[in-house]
Each structure stands twice: as structure tokens, then as C-alpha cells.
A = this chain, B = another copy of it.
Amino acid sequence: MKQVEFSLSRWMDGSGPETDMVLSSRVRVARNLKGHSFSCLASNEQTAEVLGKVRSTIDDIVELKNFTFWMMEDLTELEKQALVEKHLVSPLLARESKHGALLLREDEAVSLMINEEDHLRLQVILPGLQLEEAWREADYYDSLLEKELEYAFDENYGYLTACPTNVGTGLRVSVMLHLPALIITRQINRLLGALSQVGLAIRGLYGEGSEIIGNLVQISNQVTLGHSEDEIIGNLGGMIRQVIEQEQNARQALLDKKRAQLADKAWRSLGLLKYAQVMSSQEAIQLISDLRLGYDLGLIKTINHRLLNELLVLIRPACLQLLAHRELTESERNLERPVQIKEALARYM
């Protein structure tokens, strides 16, 4: 079995439109097999049956030949946690691994969770603002699977899912944004209020229930029923463009008023990332944010988005341990983190 190693996901390459504010765009579709109980209600045998059916289908699809297949139960806690940190596996699948599995494309842009809340959850993550592209890619793989598997589908409701909030398109679309200027100037609260009024959910870096840290905000649709996929994606895209415009204006205002302080903050962050010997992930995420803002404002030029994205992932607890090739306590991680940060900086600078 292939080991889970620390690797760079496609979204981290820093390409794509609007990368000065949008880190990544994510599309996820939930699907279930007709005639099989939803995972939460299914017996051990029934879940095994779903897995078997999906597995043999996957094996037959030539377009999935280069994907890697992992059984959750074969992975260590650390490997599973690293996949969670990279948003390739949900916390639920990592926790309850009963016949759970992951199928992952080499560039980590496309992944399929098996026996999560739904039988299948197909996900595409692309760099920058690329909702349509991510949807096209998801639709492509979804169609490949749908040719071979009969999905639970209702003429009135659409795709049936374990949780009613996913019924219909089964589509969840989200964008990870870096909004330091709106947060520094406290304009964010008004904006978040407006977004949730139009049915969008706003979360922190680690999804549902997570705080906003490092000025990173995840915005996603809540409604999956009653709109077509294109409408859902178009609506979210439109809102994201408005958020981007507001962040842009807030950044320009900050730059006009506080250029020297922003440059100072960005360069100090780089200095601390390069020289600190002990660092929590919380602090690292904040420093990376300050550095990113400095770069995006043109106040510091020797770095790039790829480096910033890589830093943002490698500082996370499990990824850090994968990189170090050993298990680490929290205080050991706080010592290892600066080592890995320095190595990453040295690779790029």
C-alpha cells in the first residue's frame, strides 16, 4: 500500500484567477447508490457491499487508473489527520472508518470519499477562483461513475442524500478567501451578516464550527435544492466577486493610510518565520497571513503564493509530523514547525 506522504496539492500551486484573495475553489457532490441504506443506517455488511460495488466499478474505469485507493482502516491516525488537514478527507470519515475509503488523483485536485455520510462524496479543489472549472471537472468524474453505478435519484427531489440539506443537486460549493483588510478594518461583520442573509455559510479554515484564523474565510452555499448546479455556482461566484471587490477597496484604503506599517508587519512576519525557534500553528497562520497581505500589496516581492500556500499547510500538526517522519507532542511540534518553515523558505527564496 502506498504511504500517505506530505505532498503538494494542485490548489497550492498559486495559479488561477484572483489568487491574491482566493486561495482555492472547491466543489463537492454527494451521491448514494440506489437500493442501499444510507451509511448511517447501514449494517456492517451493507456498508461492505457498497464498498465492494464502488471498488469494482472504480477498477473498471480506465480514467481512474492513476488514482490511489486507500482504505481508511489501513491508515494511521496521523495519515488520516493529515488528509483531514488538507481537506481531502472529512473529520467524519477519518473518525468512523467502517469500510470507509478514499480515492485520490495524483495532483490531489480530485478525490472520492466512500462510505462517508453519503456513499460517495466526490470533491474537486482548484487554485484561485475557478468554480465553473471545478464543477466541470466534478461533473466529468461524476458522469463516469454514474454510467456504471445506479444513483439514488428522485424525479422531484433530485439526488437523494443522507442529510436532507444535501438533497437535490447534492452540490456544495465553497471558496477559501484571504480577507485581511476587511478583518483589520472590521468591515467583515457587516459583510458576513449580508452573506448569511442570502443563504451562504461562512466558516474558518477548518470548516464547520471553526474560528476565523489567519484572516482565512470559507464561504459556501447552503441551499442544494431548487436551483440548478449552474445557478448555485453562478450565485456563489457573483457573491464572491462582490466580496473580492470590497476586500480590494479595503486594501487600497489601508495601503494609502498605512503603507509603512503594513510593509513593516509583512517583513517582520518574514523575519519571525525565518528566525523563530518555537512557534504555535496559530501564530504561524497569522504570520503567513501578514506576509501574504504584504506580498499581495506589492510591499514584499521575494516570495510567492505557492510558498505561502505550502507554508499554510505544512505548519498544521499532522502534516508537520508527516514531514518530520515521526510522531510529535505539541511542544515538540512547536520546535519542529520552525525547522520545516525554514526549509520551505530556503527552497523558494
Contact = CB atoms under 8 A, between A and B. Distances in A.
Nearest to A265: B277
Q: How many monomers of this protein are in the complex?
A: 2
Contacts of A277: 260, 263-264, 267-268
A335 interface: yes
Most chain B CB within 10 A, of A261, A274, A335, is at A274
A271 interface: yes
A270 interface: yes
A277 B267 CA distance: 7
A40 interface: no
A261 B278 contact: yes
Contacts of A61: none
A246 to B, nearest CB: 27
A260 B277 CA distance: 7
A275 interface: yes
Nearest to A268: B276
Contact of A275 (B260, B271, B278, B335): B271
A152 interface: no
Contacts of A270: 275
A278 B258 CA distance: 12
Contacts of A191: none
Nearest to A278: B264
A272 interface: yes
A260 to B, nearest CB: 6
A16 B130 CA distance: 65
Contacts of A272: 268, 271-272, 275
Contact of A335 (B260, B268, B271): B260
Contact of A276 (B264, B274, B276, B335): B264
Nearest to A266: B277
A345 to B, nearest CB: 11
A275 B268 CA distance: 5
Contact of A271 (B260, B261, B263, B274): B274
Interface string A249-273: 0000000000011011001101111
Interface in A268-322: 268, 270-278
Contacts of A335: 260
A277 B269 CA distance: 11
A336 B277 CA distance: 28
A264 B335 CA distance: 9
Nearest to A335: B260
Given A264-B276, A274-B275, 16 more contacts: A260-B277, A260-B278, A260-B335, A263-B277, A264-B278, A267-B276, A268-B271, A268-B272, A268-B275, A268-B276, A270-B275, A271-B273, A271-B274, A271-B275, A271-B276, A272-B272
Nearest 3 A/B pairs, CB to CB: A271-B275, A271-B271, A264-B277
15 contacts: A260-B277, A261-B278, A263-B277, A264-B277, A267-B276, A267-B277, A268-B276, A268-B277, A270-B275, A271-B271, A271-B272, A271-B274, A271-B275, A271-B276, A274-B275
